[in-house]
Amino acid sequence: MTAFDNGIALQPAGERLLRGRTVPEWANMVGPFGGITAAALLRAIELQPDVHGQPVALTVNYLAPIVEGDFEISTRAVRTNRSNQHWLVELCQDGDVKTTATAVFGVRRDTWSDTEPARPSVPAPAEVPVGPDKGPTWMRNYDMRYVTGAIPDAGDGESGSSETTLWVRDNPPRPWDFAALTAVCDIFYPRIYLRLGRLLPAGTVSITVYFHADSDTLAAQGDDHVLATARAQQYSSGHFDQAAQIWGAGGRLLATSHQIVYFKG
């Protein structure tokens, strides 16, 4: 099992209840990497025997830090329609709710399709050096190759843009699935670091992932790098929002995400 599989490993603990455990490989500055938590919540739904369709949207709200040790995830199918299914999910430790989520799963159908944004024009992954080994522990579980907007060094100063674009895949390489796609939507360090050119307390409060790829598209992606890009839009009153795109082989848009982040400073 890879570090990612260990991070989202869940065991049955009762009706609609699964038990997992934090692993040190996914440690962040406070608690585990938010992306691995979101991926575990999605996997909890995927493991339900009555799951209907494939992931369409997932919203995760981070209520309080998850401490080292066991946790439990409860799931509830709120409503199942012909084409979609709605879920409520909670992650608890010792009876204390730490994370909540809602999700929509749906049956994919062949329809007219189009992608309005264009994938950024960037060098191939092999032409971009692997990023420096710095940052929280969880970053070592990814092969990150920054095209623009790498983590700033001391003395870099402020930037007029918050945009980061990088090639990324699991380290070691692992075939893409919906859980891995969920986690990589949260791969970006806080945008305010780049704007101000320094680190300061910051963390995601809520993230929503929209899945544009189906399981066949992810299977075709294999374990290749995906192109991830993100930028913030507004900083005010201790919060900022950021939008991200995840691009796959052939310029296919695999997922988009939006999140709100708190900061101090």
133-191 pLDDT tens trace? 888 999 999 999 999 999 998 888 999 999 999 999 999 999 999 999 999 999 999 99
Cα separation of 164 and 151, whole Å? 9
Are 79 and 48 within 8 A, CB to CB? no
Asked which of 129-133, 163-167, 218-222 is least confident by mean pLDDT, the reply is 129-133
Residue 103 · residue 73 · CB < 8 Å: no
The answer to whether residue 116 is domain-embedded is no
- Average per-residue pLDDT for the chain: 96
Segment 64-97, tens digit of pLDDT: 999 999 999 999 999 999 999 999 999 999 999 9
Closest CA to 38 of 155, 262, 211: 211
pLDDT of residue 169: 97
What tokens does 265 get?
């400073």
Tell me the mean pLDDT in the region 228-243: 97
Q: Which pLDDT belongs to residue 131?
A: 87
The per-residue DSSP string of 84-122 comes to EEEEEEEEEETTEEEEEEEEEEE----------SPPP--
On whether residue 112 sits in a domain, the answer given is no
List Cβ neighbours of 263 (8 Å cut-off, separation of 6 or more): 190, 192, 200, 201, 202, 235, 238, 239, 240
Does the residue 248 lie in any domain? Answer: yes
User: How many Cα atoms within 13 Å fall on the side-chain side of residue 137?
Assistant: 13
Residue 118 within any structural domain of the chain: no
Q: How far is CA 6 from the centre of its chain?
A: 16
- How confident is the model at residue 74, as a pLDDT? 98
Q: Tell me the residue range of the domain where 225 lies.
A: 3-107+124-263
DSSP 3-state of 24: helix
* 217: pLDDT strictly greater than 90: yes
Residue 69 forms part of a structural domain? yes
The pLDDT value recorded for residue 132 is 82
Is residue 115 in some structural domain? no
CATH number of the domain within which 24 lies: 2.40.160.210
Q: How far apart are CA 55 and CA 182, in angstroms?
A: 10
CB atoms within 10 A of CB 60: 27
In whole angstroms, what is the distance from residue 123 CA to residue 80 CA? 44
What whole-number distance in Å separates Cα of residue 176 and Cα of residue 135?
Answer: 24
Q: What mean pLDDT is predicted for residues 195-212?
A: 95
Instruction: State how many domains the chain has.
Output: 1
Tell me what pLDDT residue 231 has: 97
Comparing C-alpha atoms, which of 63, 62, 46 is closest to residue 54? 46
Task: Establish if 119 belongs to a structural domain.
Answer: no
Statement: the pTM of the whole predicted model exceeds 0.85 = yes
Decide if 91 contacts 99 (C-beta within 8 A).
yes
Closest CA to 56 of 103, 24, 19, 22: 103
pLDDT tops 80 at residue 265: no
Which residue from 104, 97, 31, 99 is spatially nearest to 68, judged by alpha carbons?
A: 31
With a cut of 90, say whether residue 228 has pLDDT above it.
yes
Quote the CA–CA distance of 91 and 38 in Å, as a whole number. 10
Q: What is the pLDDT of residue 1?
A: 84
